[in-house]
């Protein structure tokens, strides 16, 4: 039994306005070929298939074309769970049709936990694995609101809600495993999935990973997950990593860099082989389909790096930050000229000196486009001279409202 674990595709995501469909398509082609080459029996996609709740037609085309291609290969099953970026109703809409392709979709927490437990069978109807397909658990699904709660109370209830749900789902899986053993099917592994933030998880600048819940906690500890789980396939964090030193609990990470903070990161998918009681886990490195390069320095430093990249015939997308002492007002024009004759693209330019010169006057000229929702709320508190002792509760309430808006499923009628 071979399982491949991947997550956080974020199909449809752009980089400073640049569409990345060719990159996504190249990854999915590579993944299809890897599944064939490694003779994978089941593919697990641990959430955030799409970057938004209303994915473009092109993003949808990539997704469904991939599912059709893989379902016709050696891969007998595909299990997809919803992430915090996904629309549950959008993912779930074609689930009955996709079942015909042995694609199982769980977009959101179900009313009956048994609906999140899937017994995968081979072509002879023999059990391969029991999958606990737990999607992103929204705040409203796992926590009831009570008057007078503190932030610590809310965090504790969130963690308890996550724990209780995994216990319910895994208990059903354990019962199914016992029944299979009675029928003579031994060593059927329990594989769980999840989309959440574990304590100590690593993130990087610019990866777009949102805090899932309001408050300072809501990062679950390893002991939240039942010991009956043989492998836990997690999504949400973009850095491939092991959780709490437990080799069988892992994030596969995103398959392509979501921003320049991930540019030097090795991207991976995880292959798990179940031949004995202890799974063999292999990390497979994903090729780089589009080079991202961040250049920081003086004008001379930037020119030197650009010339080296041109010499190497690089096709990189560049983020350039000028940190020299002199003010260079026409920096973008200079850089565009330096790239003449190359296949490179400048996706972003940061002119530190010009920014510093304007910093004192920016408030007079800034617009709402320059601020995020938290900036606006802080300005509002300042404008009304709200005392510091009142700000914590107000800020928490504001964050809860924003979270509820982020979690609203816009595709629901």
- Domain range 2-285, its CATH number among 3.60.21.10, 3.40.50.300, 3.40.50.1860, 2.70.50.60: 3.60.21.10
Fold for the domain defined by 292-359: Double Stranded RNA Binding Domain (3.30.160)
Say what the pLDDT of residue 143 is.
Answer: 79
Q: Which residue, among 49, 115, 114, 62, has the nearest Cα to 88 in the 3D structure? A: 49
Could you say which DSSP state residue 260 is in?
G
Say what the pLDDT of residue 379 is.
Answer: 79
Give the Cα separation of 363 and 371 in Å (integer): 11
Does 214 score more than 60 pLDDT?
A: no
Q: What is the mean pLDDT of residues 142-167?
A: 83
Does 360 score more than 50 pLDDT?
A: no
Highest averaged pLDDT of the listed ranges 154-158, 273-277, 292-296: 292-296
CB 154 within 8 A of CB 96: no
Higher pLDDT, residue 167 or 354:
167
Does 370 score more than 80 pLDDT?
A: no
Determine which helix (DSSP H) or strand (DSSP E) holds 193, and give its type and residue range.
strand 190-195
Spatial neighbors of 209 by CB under 8 A, at least 6 apart, are 197, 203, 236, 237, 238
Task: Provide the edge-to-edge strand list for the sheet that holds 103-106.
Answer: 103-106, 77-81, 42-46, 2-6, 268-273, 280-285
Give 217's pLDDT tier (boundaries 50, 70, 90).
very low
Token pair of 335, please? 């850089």
Give 142's pLDDT tier (boundaries 50, 70, 90).
confident
Helix/strand/coil for 112:
coil
Does 140 score more than 90 pLDDT?
A: no
Say what the pLDDT of residue 320 is.
Answer: 94
Helix axes 373-383 and 388-407, enclosed angle (nearest 10): 150
Spatial neighbors of 226 by CB under 8 A, at least 6 apart, are 166, 167, 170, 171, 174
* pLDDT tens digits, one per residue of 330-359: 889 999 999 999 999 999 998 876 655 555
**Averaged pLDDT of the chain:** 88
Q: Domains of the chain: which residue ranges?
A: 2-285, 292-359, 365-407
The model's pTM is 0.86
Does 19 score more than 60 pLDDT?
A: yes
Does 251 score more than 90 pLDDT?
A: yes
Give the Cα separation of 319 and 302 in Å (integer): 11
Could you say which DSSP state residue 210 is in?
P
Could you say which DSSP state residue 116 is in?
G
Spatial neighbors of 196 by CB under 8 A, at least 6 apart, are 136, 137, 162, 212, 220, 234, 236
Higher pLDDT, residue 381 or 371:
381
Phi, psi of 94 (to 5 degrees): -95, 15
Does 72 score more than 50 pLDDT?
A: yes
Say what the pLDDT of residue 406 is.
Answer: 63
Higher pLDDT, residue 379 or 318:
318
Name the β-bridge partners of 320.
295, 349
Does 18 score more than 60 pLDDT?
A: yes
Spatial neighbors of 210 by CB under 8 A, at least 6 apart, are 84, 406
Q: What is the mean pLDDT of residues 352-370?
A: 55
Q: Which residue, among 302, 291, 293, has the nearest Cα to 351 in the 3D structure? A: 302
Token pair of 400, please? 């809860």
Give the Cα separation of 269 and 284 in Å (integer): 5
What contacts 24+ positions apart, CB below 8 Å, involve 245-252?
246/222, 247/281, 248/279, 248/281, 249/198, 249/222, 249/225, 250/5, 250/281, 251/7, 251/201, 252/5, 252/6, 252/7, 252/8, 252/46
């Amino acid at each position: 039994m071979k399982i491949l674990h991947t997550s956080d595709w974020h199909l449809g995501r752009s980089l400073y306005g640049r569409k990345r469909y060719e990159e996504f398509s190249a990854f999915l082609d590579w993944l299809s070929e890897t599944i064939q080459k490694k003779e994978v029996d089941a593919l697990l996609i641990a959430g955030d298939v799409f970057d938004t709740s209303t994915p473009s037609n092109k993003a949808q085309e990539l997704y469904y074309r991939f599912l059709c291609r893989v379902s016709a290969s050696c891969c007998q099953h595909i299990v997809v769970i919803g992430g915090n970026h996904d629309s549950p109703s959008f993912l779930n809409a074609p689930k009955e049709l996709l079942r015909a392709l042995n694609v199982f979709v769980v977009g959101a927490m179900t009313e009956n936990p048994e609906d999140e437990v899937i017994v995968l069978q081979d072509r002879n109807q023999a059990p391969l694995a029991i999958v606990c397909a737990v999607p992103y658990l929204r705040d409203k699904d796992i926590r009831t609101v009570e008057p007078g709660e503190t932030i610590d109370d809310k965090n504790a209830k969130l963690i308890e809600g996550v724990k209780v749900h995994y216990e319910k789902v895994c208990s059903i899986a354990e019962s199914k495993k016992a029944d299979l053993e009675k029928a003579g099917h031994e060593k059927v592994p329990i594989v769980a999935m999840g989309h959440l933030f574990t304590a100590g998880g690593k993130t990087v600048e610019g990866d777009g990973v949102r805090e899932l819940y309001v408050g300072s906690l809501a990062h679950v500890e390893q002991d939240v997950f039942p010991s009956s789980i043989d492998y836990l396939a997690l999504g949400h964090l973009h850095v491939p990593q092991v959780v709490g030193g437990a080799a069988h609990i892992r994030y596969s990470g995103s398959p392509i860099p979501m921003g320049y903070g991930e540019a030097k990161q090795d991207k991976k998918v995880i292959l798990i082989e179940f031949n004995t009681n202890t799974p063999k886990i292999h990390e497979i490195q994903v090729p780089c389909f589009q080079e991202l390069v961040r250049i920081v320095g003086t004008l001379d430093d930037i020119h030197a790096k650009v010339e080296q990249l041109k010499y190497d015939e690089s096709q990189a997308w560049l983020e350039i930050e000028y940190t020299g002492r002199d003010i260079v007002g026409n920096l973008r024009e200079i850089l565009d000229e330096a790239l003449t004759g190359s296949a490179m693209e400048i996706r972003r330019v940061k002119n530190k000196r010009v920014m510093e010169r304007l910093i004192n006057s920016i408030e007079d000229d800034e617009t709402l486009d320059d601020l995020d929702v938290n900036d606006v709320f802080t300005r509002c508190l300042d404008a009304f001279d709200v005392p510091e002792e009142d700000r914590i509760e107000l800020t928490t309430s504001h964050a809860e409202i924003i979270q509820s808006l982020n979690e609203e499923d816009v595709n629901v009628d």
